[in-house]
Structure 1
Amino acid sequence: MPGLFVTGTDTGVGKTLVSAGLIVALQRQGVEVMAMKPVAAGCHYVAGQLRNEDAEQFHSLLNCQTDYSTINPCALEAAAAPHIVAAEQGQRIDVDGLAAAIRVQSEQRFTLVEGAGGWRVPLAGHEDVGTLALRSNLPVLLVVGIRLGCINHALLSAEAILNDGANLLGWVASDLEPEDTRLDAQVAALDERMPAPRLGRLPAFAQPSPSLAAEYLDVSSLMELIEALKNPI
Structure 2
Amino acid sequence: MAKAFFVTGTDTEVGKTFITRALMRAAKEAGRKVLGYKPVASGCELVGGELKNSDALALQAESSIDLPYAMINPYAFAPAIAPHIAAREANEPISLAHIGEGLARLKETAADWIFVEGAGGWRLPLDERHLLSDWVKKEHLPVILVVGARLGCINHALLTLEAIRHDGLVVAGWVLNRVDPHMSHYHENAETLKQLISAPFLGEMPRLTEDEADSAQGFIDLALLLK
Q: Is this a same-fold pair by TM over 0.5?
A: yes
Residue number in structure 2 paired with 1:42: 43
Tell me whether 1:223 sits opposite 2:214 in the alignment: no
Tell me whether 1:115 sits opposite 2:149 in the alignment: no
Stretch deviating more after TM superposition (132-141 or 114-123): 132-141
Distance 1:134 1:113 in 2: 13
* Aligned-residue offset at 1:104: 3.2
* Aligned-residue offset at 1:195: 2.6
Identify the match of residue 130 of structure 1 among 125, 130, 133. Answer: 133
* Aligned-residue offset at 1:58: 1.3
Tell me whether 1:152 sits opposite 2:155 in the alignment: yes
Q: Share of identical aligned residues, percent? A: 38
User: Which deviations, in whole Å up to 9, do the C-alpha atoms of 1:71-104 show, x marking residues without a partner?
Assistant: 0010011111100111111121111210232133
Tell me whether 1:97 sits opposite 2:98 in the alignment: yes
Tell me whether 1:168 sits opposite 2:171 in the alignment: yes
Alpha carbons 2:150, 2:178 under 8 Å: kept:
yes
* Aligned-residue offset at 1:220: 1.9
Alpha carbons 1:19, 1:112 under 8 Å: kept:
yes
Distance 1:40 1:115 in 2: 9
The residue identity in structure 2 corresponding to 1:142 is L
Stretch deviating more after TM superposition (206-215 or 169-178): 206-215
Tell me, what secondary structure is at the counterpart of 2:101? helix
Residue number in structure 2 paired with 1:74: 75
User: Which deviations, in whole Å up to 9, do the C-alpha atoms of 1:121-175 show, x marking residues without a partner?
Assistant: 1012221121121223320000000111000000000000000111111110010
- Number of aligned residue pairs: give it: 224
The residue identity in structure 1 corresponding to 2:166 is N
Give the TM-score normalised by the residue count of structure 1: 0.91
Unaligned runs of 5+ in 2: none
Q: Which stretches of structure 1, 4 residues or more, deviate above 4 A after TM superposition?
A: none
Alpha carbons 1:78, 1:85 under 8 Å: kept:
yes
The residue identity in structure 1 corresponding to 2:9 is G
Residue number in structure 2 paired with 1:231: none
Aligned-pair Cα RMSD in Å: 1.4
The residue identity in structure 2 corresponding to 1:20 is R
Stretch deviating more after TM superposition (90-99 or 7-16): 90-99
Alpha carbons 2:35, 2:62 under 8 Å: kept:
no
* Aligned-residue offset at 1:111: 1.1
Tell me, what secondary structure is at the counterpart of 1:123? coil
Unaligned runs of 5+ in 1: 225-233
* Aligned-residue offset at 1:28: 1.2
Distance 1:159 1:126 in 2: 21
Alpha carbons 1:191, 1:197 under 8 Å: kept:
no
Tell me whether 1:190 sits opposite 2:193 in the alignment: yes
Give the TM-score normalised by the residue count of structure 2: 0.94
Alpha carbons 2:205, 2:216 under 8 Å: kept:
yes
